[in-house]
Structure 1
Amino acid sequence: MVPLQDQPTASKLILVTGGGGFVGAAVAKRLHAEGNRIRVIDTVPRPSDSYFEYIQGDLSDPSCCKAVMQGVGTILHFAANMGGMGTIHEGNDFTIYRDNQNITLNVLDAAVRNGVSCILFASSACVYPDHLQSQVEKNDDMKLSEVDAFDSGHPSPQGLYGLEKLVGEMLLQLYAPKFSAGIRIARLHNVYGPGGSWHDGREKAPAAFARKAIAAKKLGDDRAVFEIWGDGRQRRSFIYIDDCVEGLLRLLRSDYPGPVNIGSDRSVSMQDLAEIALGAVGIDVSRTTFIFDSKKPVGVQARNSDNRLVKKELGWEPQISLEDGMRRTARWIDEEVRGLLDGHDDSDGHSILLGLQKSIVLDLGATMLQFGVLLPITSRGSALPGDCLHYLRKFAASLYSTTWRDTRSGEVQFRVKVYLAFDYDDEFLLEGKKAETVLREEGIWDVTRLVCNFPRGHVCSHWRECARKAYADGCDYMSLFGDDVELLDEGWLRELHRIFEDISSDTGSPHGLGCVAFTDLSFPGMPTFPVIHRRHLDIFEGNVIPSEFINQDGDPFLFQLYRRFGSSTMAPFRIRNAVGGSDDARYTKQPLHEWTFDVLDKATLAVEASLGSRAHDIRKLTIDIIVPSFRVQIDTLSRILDLKSSSTCEVMFIIIIDDPTAAGIVELERKYAHRPDVRIRVNKVNLGASATRNRGMKEASGNYVFFLDDDVVPQPDILIEAEHVIRSSPNCAGFVGSTLFPPADTVFKSAVHLAGVTYFWDIASKFPACTDLPWGVTANLIARRNKDGVQYDLRFPKTGGGEDIDFCVRKRDLFVKADKEGFHAAPKVIATHPWWHDGKRSYWRFYMWAKGDGALIAMFPELCYDDWSPHSAQLFLFTSILAFLAILSRDLPSFKVSLVTVVSVFVANVVHDLYRHLIRDKTVEPRSTITGFHWVVAIFESSIIRMMSEGGRLIGQMERGELALAVGQRRFDWFSNRFGTGPRDNERKNNRERLVLWLIVAITLSNFI
């Protein structure tokens, strides 16, 4: 025997086909542990615990076989459509033979063409003649040796599964000279153990019996009930997986070219095996009722492995007894059953356990899924009526070329049914069967014609009609297509089915609950061609979409509906839309406004009702992040778009670009437009922050909207924290996050804080337990999405100023009137806002903010108060008027005095701020790093910023014609009456002190004139 590591192929890869299955996986892990380079291929997705090269692929595809052979020196061929008696029976013969023969031929062909040195073929004990195993007296044994395969002079194996394995052996022996290191053939006899199938119809008897015993024990009935197929006297031998792996590797490392049995030479009856299984879980056989089902497949009467040859050639024999192996298997299945029951109540758990007491028969031939292609077609809207047939031919050709394999082979096969919908007055198409002829010329034969009497352009009505017919015809999946689209990727049918299975597995929802959209190259990221399962029509009584939809929004409706259950996804298979998409269609587009509220909510309730008690666990929280962007800076936007939420929260990012000429648009779309959770929209002209956020809200459909500025840097866990506060307080208007600034390390930055213009940016941190904050800045604000009409008021400046206060106040008031709560503080929802222009000195921003927020006095008189002491801007205005009048009257002394009063306003405000921050309040600003003289200068500059803000407020009121307010005593309470009279009294006090100080300064300076 030559050690594998010493063979000339050791430097090359070992390919394990079917390495995601029971035996293949066990062999691959053992070989990898021994230091070999392993490549695995299987149709199932990569297991989470695989640690070698793993390829998900279908070996029935010759191109796949060719690709995986690169660099391979040795093949261990386990890939096959197989199972226990629930699978290997007469009803599945042709399906199994066709699938397995196709795989074996492809593997052998690719191996020979690529110069593979050695191949091990996993054959089966089913190759032995049926008559040797059936013409046996009850309770007698039948040991089968390798030479018995042709006992009668011609092959007569057990079914077509056995025949295919025997043909595979013969093919390998015929091509043996092509393999420099030879061939190996292992005839496996009933392998069992942890990791194998145990409840899907493909399990072998040991796993089935262990499962039934465990279910009986968990049910706890006085007498256990145990099902056995047949009369219980059929005899078999069973080999534990570890023994099997050892035997296979000894065979691989040998130079023996002929077939070798890998099995146990100890046979037991099915009755004996059942009693061993019961004993493995601690059930008294005497307290068990056995039910014998003679209508199920039972196979041959007796089969056992003759191990004389394998012991002689390989020095191998099984080491683990059947009793020990069954105990190990039962322990593993017990853990699997616990996982299956986890999350179910007692009633559901009891039903599951009853189901586990029975084995099922798989009918592979019946695994035929029907896909309904819903295809409205019109000859109108094109240059020539016949253009639609040109488009249709391209669609039909692409439909055929991308589905031919899935309609002819595979464990799951598909049937494509096309439903053509015509307008009743489309004379061109109704004359003869032009459309049907085009489809059939391209190989599409199953076509149903529907003539519809709907208003022109009502595509959704055609959609509903086609879907009802497809539903009535039993279609499993369906999707609306256009006659002008082209399918680009082969295999989308099987991939679609797999994705729906993954959705069910990942979310715990029943199979079919979901929406899977194609990737539309003409409208990236938009679910323009959603596929749904018939379960959707079960829920909605045959209606694919509500009757309110005319010809727009039906696609995103389905996607957003199932997004609320974590069951919407964009598939990688691509589609190209020749007409329509994001461009003009052949009809007038008629969107359904505000469908994301009542229509979507009603549908959500219907899905929840269909799920019953499971709805609570499956339903997701949905948050739409709205980011208005003028700058389109990729680095900062990427930080937002790379944020991750928890598995119980679905997040969509809505980026609205407010500068259609921004240089970063192309790069942003290249990196992110393909993502279904990213929606990028570009305003045709610059609309400003408020209008841009409003457009984002119109695009939104989540439970909450989360406003972020495009230049903030959110904490990586911001979505986790956002979900936490939302779930903790679901009945409030929204949440105010903490928006922080980098340390204030310059005079100007410190002055900004001291001026108070950033006070509310981190108000959530200042009042972390507050459940009714007055407002929050839109840089980091979460709001409940309701049909309440609250938007950002376009009266405010494009660059912002007051619109966030107005939005929060109106939103909060509606919630409070409905006996709900206002905006809660969310101090852990943190984002950092950079200093504007890298902290370079500029007062214009604060001036413009104040121009906008001055409108709040007229808009919310109930949130205002009187302060009879004029603020700095009013004093500047009054004294400047006096100076101007003095000039007009040519009164120089009066002009000098009035000029002194103007200067005194500035001096008084600066002196008062120095007094207030240094003496009276002894202000400590933790966000600032400056001290000493620079701190004094910062206070001085803060006065300038504050006076600029007050000036902007006054100018804004005058521009709006609010002269009485501009010069009057009304002031807006920035705390919206939420914190009592304290804030108002403090403002009154400061203005009063400044007024007195102004008088003192003015009188003092006047004495020097």
Structure 2
Amino acid sequence: MATMNEKSVATKIYLVTGGGGFIGSAVAKRLHDEGHHVRVVDIAPQPSAVYFTEYTQGDLCDLSCCEAMMQGVGTVLHFAANMGGMGTIHEGNDFTIYRDNNTITLNVLQAAVRGSVDRFLYASSACVYPGHLQDVSDDKDVQLSESDVFSSGEPSPQGLYGLEKLVGELLLRQYAHKLSIRIARLHNVYGPGGSWHDGREKAPGALGRKAVAAKRLADTSEFEIWGDGSQRRSFIYIDDCVEGLLRLLRSDYAGPVNIGSDHSLSVQGLAEVALVAVGLEPARASFAFDTSKPVGVQARSSDNRLVKDVLGWEPQTSLKDGMQRTVSWIDAQVETLLDSQDHPQSILRQLQKSTVIELSASTLQFGVLLPITSRGTESPQVCLDHLRKFAASLYSTTWRDTRSGEVKFRVKVYLAVDDDDKFLLEGQKAESVLREAGVWDITRLVCNFPRGHICSLWRYCATAAWKDGCDYMALFGDDVELLDEGWLRGIHQIFQDLSRKTESPPGFGCVAFTDISFPGMPTFPVVHRLHMDIFEGSVIPSAFVNQDGDPFLFQLYRRFGSSKMAPFRLRNAVGGSNDARYTKEHLKEWTFEVLDDATSTVELWSGSKGHGIGKKLTIDVIVPSFRVQFAALSRILKLESSDTCEVMFILIIDDPQASGIAELEAKYGFRPDVRIRVNASNLGASASRNRGMEESTAEYVFFLDDDVVPQPDILIKAEKAIRTNPNCAGLVGTTVFPPADTIFKSAVHLAGVTYFWDIATKLTDDIPWGVTANLIARRNKDKIRYDIRFPKTGGGEDIDFCIRKRNFFVKEGKRGFQAAPEVIAIHPWWYSGNRSYWRFYMWAKGDGALVALFPELCYLDWSPTSAQMLLLTLLSALVAIILGDFSSFKTSMIGVLAVFVANVGHDLYRHLIREKTLDLRSTMTGIPWVIAVVESALIRMLSEGGRLVGQVERGEWLLAVGQQRFDWFVGRVGNGPRDNERRNSRERLVLWFLLLLSISRLT
């Protein structure tokens, strides 16, 4: 056996191209086990099993990839190729296979020469041998020797696959003066790890699979064989192949060498071996011969005289033993496959058939939908300038995907031009610009739609692309510039990932580009032809004019967890969030019936096809923020939902000068589930929440204050509560404060101003109202918004909103707000718990308007409030001053004092004696607790004062001095709260009168 000195290359890297494949991985493993540094490059992702030192997923059709792989390499073992069995290597795939494999081999060889590689082993094929030598009429073996390639003068290999392999051999010989070359002509390698069910399998894998399926089905009534079964082949087991290859690599022999078996049998005979391997009797099998499928040459086996002579090698594994191992491995693969299937019998039936792979069908067509107009700019030429930039970016970002890779892509541009746009129609100006950039596949569509109806142009283009067989449709504009290479394969991969994640059919969903001119907004969507199938050729409903079509698609598939923003960027020069070249026409309220109808269409289609695609719950979290506290908002934006719920965060910034906006947008602005909107001026909490609702497309909106600390599972708990109460106006969460560890904090609780913050723990059904710090509402076409007549800082708007929302739902035969006690958020104390009464005063100024808005929810209390008593006594003092009646003035001032004493004294009596109030939220006891009660009375009085002042400012004079009181429970819990309030005010009035009388007598 001839050998080669290994010292010169022993310390260098072994590069195995196609090392993720069957033969390449087996060779790489052997070298790695021997302790060599093995670098694998393959187009497939890195496998979990480690049999290499380095692994790179790369496309060898890219010369730069090949050159990068050659760093430090001493030996190249070249197995990478587009190949397979007769289901792949047939005439229909000839050009694709030749083009791919020739490009790969040229690139790898060129990079190896430039990289000063020492040795190059080339995996050739028995397909290089002339076809006429193998097309015999009788059942005799044909053993092919290495010299037979040129036996008839001119070579005539099997198909373009064989021709490319032969050309590869000749290329290597051309560089034999620079490389130590080795050429192995492989003959039908088989064994565990080889293809067995993807259409690229060879006869041992295919027949082994069919035997396993027959065994599991206990059915050999129709055992498929391509051809008439008489074709003869020899087969070599993978371990023997690896041994032969490494002996060749380490030898000094530079000529072609057969690596195969010289023992052949018929294909039917191989099928019988496979049946025996699974324990079935071949005599009982009924073979179904399919002569319509590719079969290749009639007879072929290896002449091994040369390889025995120069390498001392011959196969050691019998076909029986090799097939037994192979079939056992295939059986284990089938077992794993069936474990994840609901209908194993159906899968096994499919495994009994082989398929023909048409590589041309793997070319995916992207329809680029391109409405274009010369109007709306200072010069018609400007549109061509924009188009030129777009065309250049389209070419540069798709060049690689349209020329290399396992999956090929093709770009077809659909130009939509108005029939009266004379500038563009004359001389094919737009087409010329595209062709100058290298874009050739162009279809012009002359359209007759009203000006500015971009969505009509889009629908027309999409339908044309669908009818032409395009796989994907991508909407662009002539003023768009694509910024990232690889978006064709990248978006296709995202669709595949969505399909796997959601268990939906391939192509189900919507993928949008990242528009850097309009961050976070899905403005340029891509859909698959499956979408067009579902909607019978219409990409979006006809109601859309020129706005909202793209977010419609994104939000539609969001409801099924199948929309995603791709990381591929583009820049939109005109339009987006800025002014467009036409008058923008939004479709009002498309997020209701239009979106719901489309959702129903998808659900009906899914059900009819048996896909069972689950619709997800959608929630939009709306957070108005004036302060823009980055840490607090980040805490909210980090909340996670379950896999059955889709959540979007809508932040409405109410101070355009807030210092935290830039940091917030920099970190979260490009998240597709975060939408940051900045008001032009301070509009207030109500207006900001309304804007959030206008932005929302979800089924539910979840209002959170920007300073709350939600429990980490709040979204999961919210989803659970919603699913438990699907037909209600909304849900009221539980908002709690940290422990009241100071007198002031305890006083706030005792004053009752936070009573409704945790109302969900006190009531369960038909909650009167909830605070907007933690409130969920069902989106509905009810036009109910927060009333901006209430103060910007809040006060009464939440009560008003909940009442009107509840009434609408009850009128529809549904339920009001329900309790969601497990939806918990912690609200920190305002100003870190330092004393501040202004907030409570302003709340009361706002909620005093409820008396006028909802007189039916009010009750009469003939005893005045503390504010009314103060107003009365102060007015009497003023009159006394005017009249010069000092005695009456003195009595009036005593009355003022008595108001405070009566209210404080009554609250002390009520909390300490009558009700013996015990608030577990407070840590105060003893004297501090008594002081807290005193302070709570002052807070209550201040709130009553604010209510009166608000009514006066609104001109509600009669209500300000009248006896109507708003029922905070809006009658839901009976007359108990009303009677209790009447009792308290009556007792305070009596106490005030007694105090006034007593003090007057004493003085």
TM-score (norm 2): 0.90
CA distance in 2, matches of 1:11, 1:727: 64
Q: Decide which moves more: 232-241 or 952-961.
A: 232-241
Q: What letter is aligned with 2:395?
A: Y
Per-residue CA deviations over 1:224-254 (Å, capped at 9, x if unaligned) read 4221112234445556667777887888899
2:288 aligned partner:
291
1:660 aligns with 2:656: yes
1:315 and 1:288 mapped to 2: Cα distance? Answer: 33
Q: CA deviation at 1:701?
A: 0.9
Q: Is 1:949 equivalent to 2:943 in the alignment?
A: yes
| Deviation (angstroms), 1:169 | 5.2
User: What is the SS of the residue equivalent to 2:613?
Assistant: helix
Question: Where does residue 61 of structure 1 map in the other structure?
Answer: 62
Which whole-Å CA distance do the structure 2 matches of 1:511 and 1:411 have between them?
A: 18
Distance in 1, matches of 2:760 and 2:32, equals: 55
* Pair 1:107-2:108 in alignment: yes
Aligned pair 1:797/2:786, yes or no?
Answer: no
Mapped to 2, the partners of 1:329 and 1:752 lie a distance apart of 73
Task: Judge conservation of contact 2:196–2:330 (CA < 8 Å) in 1.
Answer: no
Change beyond 3 A, Cα 1:220–1:806: farther
Match of 1:705 in 2: 701
Q: How does 1:269-280 map to 2 (within 5 A)?
A: 269-278=266-275
* Pair 1:392-2:387 in alignment: yes
Q: For residues 50 and 975 of structure 1, what CA distance do their matches in structure 2 show? A: 68
2:12·2:74 contact (CA, 8 Å) conserved in 1? yes
Rounded Cα–Cα distance in structure 1 between residues aligned with 2:41 and 2:757 = 55
When structure 1 is superposed on structure 2, of 430-439 and 650-659 the one drifting more is 430-439
Partners of 1:828 and 1:306 in 2: how far apart? 78
Matched, 1:226 2:223: yes
Check 1:402–1:749 CA distance in 2 against 1; reply closer, same or farther (3 A cut). same
CA contact (8 A) 1:429 1:435 kept: yes
Alpha-carbon distance change, 641 to 7 in structure 1, aligned in 2, over 3 angstroms = farther
Q: Which of 612, 621, 646 is 1:650 aligned to?
A: 646
Report the CA distance shift for 1:981/1:270 in structure 2 as closer, same or farther (over 3 A).
farther
How far residue 513 of structure 1 moved from its aligned partner, in angstroms, is 2.5
Whole-Å separation in 2 of the counterparts to 1:9 and 1:915: 98
CA distance in 1, matches of 2:238, 2:633: 53
Contact in 1 for aligned 2:14/2:39 (Cα 8 Å)? yes
Is contact 1:280–1:330 with CA below 8 Å preserved after alignment? Answer: no
* Cα distance in 2 between the residues matched to 1:919 and 1:25: 86
**What is aligned with 1:617?**
613
Confirm or deny: 8 A CA contact 1:623 1:704 kept in the other structure: yes
Higher mean C-alpha deviation, range 18-27 or range 727-736: 18-27
Select which of 410, 421, 427 maps to 1:426: 421
1:332 aligns to 2:333 (yes or no)? yes
Alpha carbons of structure 1 residues 904 and 45: separation in structure 2 relative to 1, 3 Å: farther
- Give distance in 1, aligned partners of 2:968 and 2:35: 70
Partner in structure 2 of residue 205 of structure 1: 203
Mapped partners of 2:803, 2:843: distance in 1: 17
> 1:632 maps to which residue?
628
Q: 1:653 to 1:150 in 2, by over 3 A?
A: farther
Distance 2:695 2:838 in 1: 32
Aligned to 1:781: 775
Per the alignment, residue 843 of structure 1 pairs with 837
Shift of 1:273: 4.1
2:721 is matched with which residue?
Answer: 725
- Distance (Å, rounded) in 1 between the aligned partners of 2:878 and 2:242: 103
1:382 aligns with 2:367: no
Between 944-953 and 11-20, the greater mean CA deviation after superposition: 11-20
SS in 1 for 2:647: strand
Would the alpha carbon gap of residues 835 and 495 (structure 1) be closer, same or farther in structure 2, given more than 3 Å must change? same
The aligned counterpart of 2:480 is: 485
The total of aligned residue pairs comes to: 996
User: Counterpart of 1:936?
Assistant: 930
Deviations for 1:137-172, whole angstroms, at most 9, x for unmatched residues?
A: 53x666778787777787655433344345445655
SS of aligned partner of 1:421: strand
**Structure 2 CA distance for aligned equivalents of residues 780 and 418 of structure 1:** 49
Aligned pair 1:519/2:514, yes or no?
yes
- Report the Cα offset of residue 988 of structure 1: 3.3
- What are the equivalent positions in structure 2 for 1:871-882 lying under 5 Å apart? 871-882=865-876
8 A Cα contact 2:212 2:330, kept in partner: no
Deviation at 1:685, TM superposition (A): 1.3
Q: Indicate the SS of the match to 2:222.
A: strand
Question: In 1, distance between residues paired with 2:611 and 2:685?
Answer: 38
Partner amino acid, structure 2, of 1:549: F
CA RMSD of aligned residues (A): 3.8
Could you report, residue by residue, the CA deviation over 1:601-659 in whole angstroms, capped at 9, with x for unpaired residues? 11222222222254643422222221212122222222222223233322222222111
After superposition, where does 1:519-918 map in structure 2 within 5 Å?
A: 519-612=514-607, 614=610, 616-767=612-763, 770-918=764-912
Query: Residues 500 and 512 of structure 1 are in contact (CA less than 8 Å); yes or no, is this contact kept in structure 2?
Result: yes
Matches within 5 A, 1:156-235: 157-168=157-168, 171=171, 190=188, 196-213=194-211, 215-216=213-214, 224-235=221-232
Q: Matches of 1:185 and 1:890 in 2, distance apart?
A: 124
Q: Structure 1 residues 936, 306: CA separation in 2 closer, same or farther (over 3 Å shift)?
A: farther
Give the match's secondary structure for 1:200: coil
Q: Which runs of 5+ in 2 are unaligned?
A: none
Q: 1: CA distance between counterparts of 2:941 and 2:260? A: 93
SS of residue matched to 1:910: helix
1:404 paired to 2:399: yes
Q: Is the 8 A contact 2:248 2:311 kept in 1?
A: no
In structure 1, the gaps of 5 or more residues are none
Q: Secondary structure at the match of 1:490?
A: coil
Q: Deviations over 1:26-71 (max 9, x none)?
A: 6777888898877654434566788986654322122333445556
Greater displacement, 515-524 / 885-894 = 885-894
1:451 lines up with 2:451 in the alignment = no
**Match for 1:994: what amino acid?**
R
2:317 aligned with 1:322? no
Aligned residue for 1:386, secondary structure, equals helix
Shift of 1:980: 3.1
Task: Give the secondary-structure state (helix, strand or coil) at the position aligned to 1:617.
Answer: coil
SS in structure 1 at match of 2:979: helix
Q: Mean alpha-carbon deviation: is it higher for 41-50 or for 404-413?
A: 41-50
Residues 107, 735 of structure 1: alpha-carbon distance in 2 compared, 3 angstrom cutoff: farther
Residue type matched to 1:499 in 2? I
* Conservation of the 8 A alpha-carbon contact between 1:632 and 1:657: yes
Rate the CA distance shift 1:126–1:424 in 2: closer, same or farther, 3 A.
Answer: closer
Q: Percent identity?
A: 70
Offset at 1:77?
4.3
Counterpart-to-counterpart distance in 2, 1:9 and 1:732: 76
> How many Å separate the matches in 1 of 2:909 and 2:575?
67
Compared CA separation, residues 607 and 239, structure 1 to 2 (3 A): farther
Aligned amino acid, residue 744 of structure 1 = A
Distance, in Å, in 1 between the alignment partners of 2:904 and 2:413 is 80
Counterpart for residue 95 of structure 1: 96
Deviations 1:967-993 (A, max 9, x none): 333322323333333333333343344
| 1:270 alignment partner AA | V
SS state of the match for residue 296, structure 1?
A: coil
Partners of 1:610 and 1:798 lie apart in 2 by 47
TM-aligned CA distance change 1:534 to 1:746, over 3 Å: same
Report the AA paired with residue 934 of structure 1: P
The structure-2 alpha-carbon separation of the partners of 1:889 and 1:178, relative to structure 1 and needing over 3 Å to count, comes to farther
Farther-moved stretch of structure 1 (144-153 vs 967-976): 144-153
Structure 2 counterpart of 1:556, one-letter code:
P
Distance in 2 of aligned mates of 1:7 and 1:870: 106
- Greater shift, 141-150 or 873-882, is seen at 141-150
- What is the aligned counterpart of 2:352 among 357, 361, 365? 357
Q: Which moved more, 1:244-253 or 1:531-540?
A: 244-253
| 1:693 Cα deviation after fit | 1.0
Change (3 A) 1:263 1:910: farther
Residue 540 of structure 2 aligns to a residue whose secondary structure is: coil
CA shift for structure 1 position 293: 0.7
SS in 2 for 1:662: coil
Moved more, 857-866 or 407-416: 407-416
